[in-house]
Structure 1
């Protein structure tokens, strides 16, 4: 488990442990909605936003995703590197 995942795991265990999987998924969906709202504000589609608030909501979403990864024993670094390799191979001609 990487350093950031360990930090999330430590905090969650201090709080009493992980939620059930679908409760964590609901948290991801909620955080994604909050990030979306901040993006709309930042892009001046819906009010005014700030990069600080956008970063905060991005962090909240990542935290919720890391909780799911930890629960299932997924190494987020390995998962992301695998996705990068997949996109690099699959989509290499897409942007030309």
Structure 2
């Protein structure tokens, strides 16, 4: 996946990847920020903007991409496998 390579180049230029559990902590933190942005957009918690939501989705994707790169996982292939899993499991519910 081309974007994975871009993330890899950027992270290496910035000094390299964090330790695995530090990357996990970053993903959890960014997921919490995404939850806050979603609550704001839905009007549950203040007011939010789609721009803020897009930014938080990007942050989650970046953190997840760092983890995938560390473990040598192709995100495109992982997503394809998951889509197929859902098709087999849930298509005829």
**If the length of structure 2 is used for normalisation, what is the TM-score?**
0.98
Q: Distance in 1 between matches of 2:57 and 2:3?
A: 15
1:3 corresponding residue in structure 2? 2
Quick one: distance in 2 between partners of 1:45 and 1:27? 25
CA-atom RMSD, angstroms? Answer: 0.5
CA distance in 1, matches of 2:3, 2:90: 29
Match in the other structure for 1:52: 51
Counterparts of 2:77 and 2:21, CA distance in 1: 23
TM-score by length of 1: 0.95
Unmatched segments (≥5 aa) in structure 2:
none
Shift >2 Å, 4+ stretches: none
- Deviations along 1:61-95, one digit per CA (max 9) or x if unpaired, are 0000000000000000000000000000111122x
Residue of structure 1 in register with 2:40 after alignment: 41
